[in-house]
Amino acid sequence: MENFIKENKSVIAIVIGCVILGGFFYATQISKQNSIEKQQQIEIQTETQARKDQEKAAELQRSRETLGKSSCAEEAVKVAVNHYKSSSLCRGFYASSAECNNGTYLVANYNSAYEICLQRKGLK
């Protein structure tokens, strides 16, 4: 056996060197693979969070629009009623009529006030 080792020292050294280099190469490839998988997982989580944030922002925008339209409707009613009460129909003889005091208004006045409010708030 000693003779075999003496005669083949260079071959044994090459084989041992290849095993060591192969082990390092294998460990490096495993490390790269783990790093790539972790990076992909982080990207997926980031994309998921971005989608959730966009959905929340869209829901908030819809809520703001709904609230804005609701407040414009209330404002338009007040403006239209006040305009009707101050019109010539509610002056003089008709000023004491029930129609002038019960919140009646002209639809055209309401529509106009509603459109103006929506434009002012940037909802249309």
% helix, strand, coil for the chain, step of 5:
90, 0, 10
Alpha carbon distance 13, 43 (integer Å): 45
Q: Cα–Cα distance between 2 and 124 in angstroms, integer?
A: 95
Q: What is the pLDDT of residues 27-69, one digit of tens each?
A: 999 999 999 999 999 999 999 999 999 999 999 999 988 998 8
96 has pLDDT over 70: no
Please report, to the nearest 10 degrees, the dihedral formed by the alpha carbons of residues 91, 93, 98, 102 taken in order: 0
Q: Tally the C-alpha atoms within 13 A of residue 42's C-alpha that lie toward its C-beta.
A: 6
Note down the domain range covering 47. Answer: 2-120
* Cα 85-87-89 angle, rounded to 5 deg: 90
Number of domains in the chain: 1
pLDDT above 60: residue 1: yes
Please determine, for residue 103, whether its predicted confidence score (pLDDT) is greater than 80.
Answer: no
Q: How many CB atoms lie within 10 A of CB 9?
A: 10
